[in-house]
Structure 1
Amino acid sequence: MSLVTFHPEKTLDPLFNFDSDRFFNLKRNRGQIDEEVNLPKVNVTEDENFFHLEAETPGMKDKDISIEVHNGVLTIKGHKENKSDTEKKSYHIREFSSQSFERSFKLSDRVDTEKVSAKIDNGVLKVDLPKHVQIKPKKIEVQSN
């Protein structure tokens, strides 16, 4: 019988074999965090004429966000530079960081992509996605001679 040393950081499944510090984007013992990549939380609702997407974008302004619709995909990108990143200071703890994200959504064929609009208010990005005007069937009355 041979003795096998157990390594808790090594698992049998390579899908779970990752560096947790890098995965969670933390630099322990250095008192700082790299640029964070956080996906904003979203709500998507629908009413008779629109789909509405709301995304949490705290601290971001309109100049920090870009939105693009291409081939039926809505892509929202955000980047906010932390001004203190350029300052030469000696930090004991540094948790403020630059923020970046990119999130894409496959749109329904019912969305009129030419009329999409967006605004940001109090850290919430609101994207209105109008539906195509549906042409309702017209009844044709059949007449007899």
Structure 2
Amino acid sequence: MTEPIAVPINIFENERELMVVAPMPGVSPEDIEVDVLEDGRMALRAAPRGEGQDRIAHLVREWAYGPYHREFELPVPVDGQRANVTLDNGVLTVTLPKASATMATTLRLGRTGHARGVASGHTGTRGGAASA
């Protein structure tokens, strides 16, 4: 099994929301899990499909893809239960409304169609499937 890649992140904010952006090439939307934890941390996880990729003899390998795992502290409390998660062109975007206290949840994406891996969704229940 390949060691998880600590995916780089960018975090942006405006008056109402926090936005976390992370590149995750090579994964399908349904393979991504986002956890907003009660202690104000976030965990991003994804595993690309195509078992056995680590057994392929690479002649040149300057970049790698998944599995991905990254856990980090959010700078402000957020409402994870009202979050929106999208994956577009291999870039994961999690938009979280700011809150007075962090509301924990697990977010998963659902595929929206045949638009080259584009998916979006949000959830209001722990572990529920995201919906558009």
- Considering the TM-score relative to the shorter chain, is it more than 0.5? yes
Distance 1:57 1:106 in 2: 19
Q: Are the aligned partners of 2:5 and 2:65 in contact in 1 as well (CA < 8 Å)?
A: no
2:49 match: 81
**Pair 1:39 & 2:39 matched:** no
1:70 aligned residue: 37
User: Per residue, is there more strand in 1 or in 2?
Assistant: 2
The normalised TM-score by structure 2 is 0.59
Which residues in structure 2 correspond to 1:122-141 (within 5 Å)? 122-132=89-99
SS at match of 2:47: strand
Structure 2 contact 24–66 (Cα < 8 Å) conserved? no
Partners in 2 of 1:112 and 1:82 — Cα distance?
A: 34
Change in CA separation of 1:58 and 1:97 when aligned onto 2, cut-off 3 Å? closer
Where is the helix percentage greater, Structure 1 or Structure 2? 1
The answer to which of 44-53 and 74-83 deviates more is 74-83
The RMSD of aligned alpha carbons is 2.9
Kept in 2: contact 1:77–1:102 (CA 8 A): yes
Aligned with residue 118 of structure 1, among 66, 73, 85? 85
Contact 1:81 1:99 in 2 (8 A): no
CA separation of 1:77 and 1:45: change in aligned 2, threshold 3 A: same
Cα distance in structure 1, aligned partners of 2:76 and 2:57: 52
Aligned pairs, how many?
96
Q: CA deviation at 1:105?
A: 2.1
Q: CA deviation at 1:97?
A: 7.7
CA separation of 1:130 and 1:61: change in aligned 2, threshold 3 A? same
The alpha carbon displacement at 1:92 in A equals 5.3
Counterparts of 2:43 and 2:6 in 1: how far apart (Å)? 12
**Which residue of the partner structure matches residue 16 of structure 1?**
none
Question: 2:67 is paired with a residue of what secondary structure?
Answer: strand
Cα contact 2:36–2:43 (8 A) shared by 1 = yes
**What do the CA deviations read for 1:101-130 (whole angstroms, capped 9, x no partner)?**
211122345312321221100000000011
Question: Identity of paired residues, percent?
Answer: 26
Name the CA distance, whole Å, in 1 between partners of 2:72 and 2:87. Answer: 18
**Unpaired runs of at least 5, structure 1:** 1-33, 134-145
Gaps of 5+ in 2: 101-132
